[in-house]
Structure 1
Amino acid sequence: MKQKLYAIVDLETTGGRAARDKIIEIAIVLHDGAQIVDTYSSLINPECYVPYGITQLTGITQDMVQDAPRFYEVARKVVEMTEDAIFVAHNVRFDYSFLREEFGRLGFTYSRKNLCTVRLSRKAFPGLPSYSLGNLIRSLGIEVDNRHRALDDALATAEILRRILNGEDNEQCVKEMVNLGIKEALLPKNLTVEGIHALPEECGVYYFHNQKGDVVYVGKSINIKKRVAEHFANKSEKGSKLQQHVHDISFELTGSELVALLLESHEIKRLSPPINRAQRVRRFPYIIHTHEDEAGYLCFDVAQVNAKNRKKYHIISEYPKLSHAKNHLGRVLEQYELCSRLCGLHPGKGACFHYHIKQCHGACIGMEPADSYNERARAAGEQLSTIFDKDFFILDQGRTPEEMAVVLVEEGSYRGFGFVEREEMNGQPGYLKNAVKPFPGNPETTRIIQRYLSKQNGVKVVPLTGSAL
């Protein structure tokens, strides 16, 4: 049986964000669970400025890294030392994400089973006030010469790991953490832990297939491997169904989380997987519409429509259920302090209920001028709307560093997505439009795009007309 190896990694960096900051020192300690079998460390030229605060913390200066190798010059050594080993770090997400980012810049995908000594330490040494590396070093009496230098911190982490591995009942805990929390008893018969480890740690849509090859479940994640593992980590009603029916897994990488959300929504409607339920809705027969009353107030109302009567309404949003429309309107009504009578939620005459509790300014009894009321009502309408009033592209990250995802919104609705090479983008909207593969839009896709744009700062919105870039 092949001996299990642990590659304990520590990095010093120019900051805390892998997408923006760079590595300035790396150390790898290879450990077999009982003793150290190899070590490696090197300063790295980050090809950028080393901030003063980082120098104060680590002692690493600009002069020290000036003649050091660049990351691509040590990349092969990193691959060789961590290959077939479990990647270990104290707060593994930090170190692992920096290495994945560096390899990504070189055009390679870096993927390893990994283990976090912060999480392990919480289980192995309960009751400590802090599980930072510095506190564990003090609490466990570990000797360290140079804190915040990569090799010394990696050696300290290796000693922490050794003590954990020597502790009682820790072997199963380590195994479960390495296996992403998967409980093998919950896995479908045809799936293995190794098979799940082989899945990409990237953004996209994944498909669970039954023995016939039919899709029984569709999901999306920014980390496909991690999300699939979560399905088999704990007992649940959905997990039991997956265990019974799943025979194989496939996936499609998207790079962009927005594209993953849109593709997942489309695929659930197209395939109607039996284990998916929430997003299988295809019809949106209930609407919120607007009109102006005789006194000049902008009013909202809820109605049921069909192909024959929908043209008579000024529709701003559509819903699969009447309750969804009323609840959404009710929430926005309260947010903008609108009149519940003018929103069609409390028919009748006189002052509405919200006026009596001082959440309506009195439009229902003529106390608030229409101009003042309509200003808030228009803002509420914009929030309610599932129809875009402009044509535009959304440019987001692609499946590789050289690629960008393109999402098209035209004539009020989502029209599809595609991918373009960054170097080939010529600034013309026609080029971007030709890259888009058509997909049907609906109120759900509009809300997906609206929510994504409200939360994401890294995407670029480009008008459909004029120069694109």
Structure 2
Amino acid sequence: MSSTAINTLEYAIVDIETTGGYAAGSGITEVAILIHDGQNVVERFETLINPQCAIPLSIQALTGINNELVANAPAFSDVARRIFDLLSGRVFVAHHVNFDYSFIKHHLQTAGYTYVAPKLCTVRMSRKIRPGLASYSLGRLCDVLEIPITHRHRAGGDAEATAILFTKLLEWDTGGAIREMLKKTSGHQQLPPNLPKEQVDQLPHSTGVYYFRDKTGKVIYVGKALDIHSRVTSHFTGHNPNPQRQQFLRHIHSVTHEPCGTELIALLLEATEIKRLWPAYNRALKRFEPKFAIYVYEDQQGYLRIAVGKYGKGHPPVQVFYRQMDAVNSLHALINEFELDRQYCSFGGTANHHAVRPHVVPPEQHNERLRSALHGLQRTNANFAVIDQGRNSNEKSCIWVENGNLYGMGYFPVGPDSFLDTETVKASLTRYTGTHYMMQLINSYAEKHPLKIWKTDHLTAFSFL
């Protein structure tokens, strides 16, 4: 797109005031639209809107718009046609554009209008054309760039200031940044306002883990991907108006990544990083911890007893479960298969209706039968390594399991005549504390890929001849 083409475009500079932070659950209280021909504002539209819901006191204090002020104002549906006509065929421009765009698009759709438009964000434009400023909020930009701004936090005042800023950015853009942003394939329209496009462009198309960070550098989301670049950009497609997504995008200021040799290592690293960092916007993996377990303990008469109970880290479990019913069913299966005496079994919250009977066998005989039952249930003394591809052709990845638990994972160098002793490989790994979820991933992978499993009980060296 040439500079001449940019000058012939028309832009709709938009600012709105709302009752809340997300479109699907909030109303609009004020709209201002300034039509810009690439040099000057040529038309203005501004109106209060009755949101048809109560305006929170915090919003009233910020904007000065209260319930009485909008009582006789039109509903959005009453002015939807006018707004749609003003916006149609023009580039949608706003400060933090995805916020305003999501509200306008949602409320137009509710009123029966399908609206799609190219967008420009004056935050992203300012970061690109005037890099290095301490802040890119509208108020701070106006202070630094000596732009007059009146009626702050009102749609008309903020739109006027945004229009002046937009005019200056058009003049200052000698490198064609705006032209690049308007290209359909540029990605600028979808990216969060505070995330530099250069960081996204530098992400690799390979397997790994990525981290979204806030303005302080704190990790707010961890994800894994087979293609890091594609997965990261997929977060920003569409205009889902739910509050979690709106808050999430607003807080992303940077993205970093860690390459991984395999999807399994990426999954394990994602899980351990979520457990370590507890990011605000990771929810799914936080639920992947067991809630119930089967325990074995010895009573005062020397009899081993088996019981279902809530999972806790104070006593080692025989097996853990997400649901109590699964634990109960597993215990019933053991009882039936090995003919265990039910008086030595407890089902947690479910009552055991079998009357306590005198001991009919000595504890040694009973305990031996119970241990036989547990032998197939437990996955103890499992010692193996998953050896797979590395991050490049000069290394292999390794996931090391000892006594049924994750010991560590990492990478070690290989060559055409590599012959490495197990202690050297083990020492090169990063130690990790595994979870039930992580061991499920590893054991499932081991069952599906037996050729990649090295039993380490009697192994002294890895040979890659």
**TM-score, normalising length from structure 2?**
0.47
Larger radius of gyration: 2
**TM-score, normalising length from structure 1?**
0.46
